[in-house]
Structure 1
């Protein structure tokens, strides 16, 4: 079980933060700091990948919301990858996350959406 910080992958087109198995008070702030550093470094787009995450409390939702706010300030498109089922998806749905951020079922779909948006700019 991975209770640490997010795994970071950087390409020319986007930065991807893959969340650990669990996000809570013990690691939420550190994950947000990773997202903030990535955004502030000039990444052209951001994907927050929650597909391996099996537990996400309000701290995880806070990471997503604050990351979206920072991305918006910088004009950086952001997508959140949520599996179609499971507790993390249910918590996100109850919190209304889909009304605030773009959601994709997998990283490939998020990358295609970002590439399509970039092509239309």
Structure 2
């Protein structure tokens, strides 16, 4: 709310505040893009992973972690924002994979998301790797 008579400030154009290399036309809506590579199911999490995307992304993670002994890679490199709702989703996926005798790898190179994982106590449990190629080499 602006005080009456106060000059109205215009928001800077997105290009002026977006970090270099970030496309201004990329949406922030949370979504999961899933595909197979070899015997792995890769789930890329795009956009802002918060309470808004909890249901849709949670449903996709539940689907890919349902089979016996799933081999799942959660790729957080396309993720623009990740909060405690994201922590809960990844932790749930980890428990489901572990309980079914499978393996879960996490790909993340974002210092902010890695910090969120550390604060949430998941960094040492998940042992994220910086690239998808690294996750596919792990065993």
Fold match by TM threshold 0.5: yes
- Cα RMSD over matched residues? 1.6
Q: Normalising by structure 2, what TM-score?
A: 0.74
Structure 1 residue runs of 5 or longer lacking an equivalent are: none
1:3 match = 29
- Which structure: larger Rg? 2
Relative to structure 1, the CA distance from residue 42 to residue 67 in structure 2 (aligned partners, 3 Å threshold; closer, same or farther) is: same
Deviation >6 Å, runs of 4+: none
Residue 20 in structure 1 maps to residue 46 in structure 2: yes
- What's 1:51 paired with? 77
Count of matched residue positions in the alignment of Structure 1 and Structure 2: 113
Greater helix share, structure number: 1
Residue of structure 2 equivalent to 1:38:
64
Secondary structure in 1 aligned to 2:31? coil
Normalising by structure 1, we get a TM-score of: 0.84
Give the match for residue 91 of structure 1. 116
CA gap 1:102/1:19 in 2 versus in 1, 3 angstroms: same
Task: With a CA cutoff of 8 Å and minimum separation of 6, indicate the structure with the bigger relative contact order.
Answer: 1
Runs (5+) with no aligned partner, structure 2: 1-26
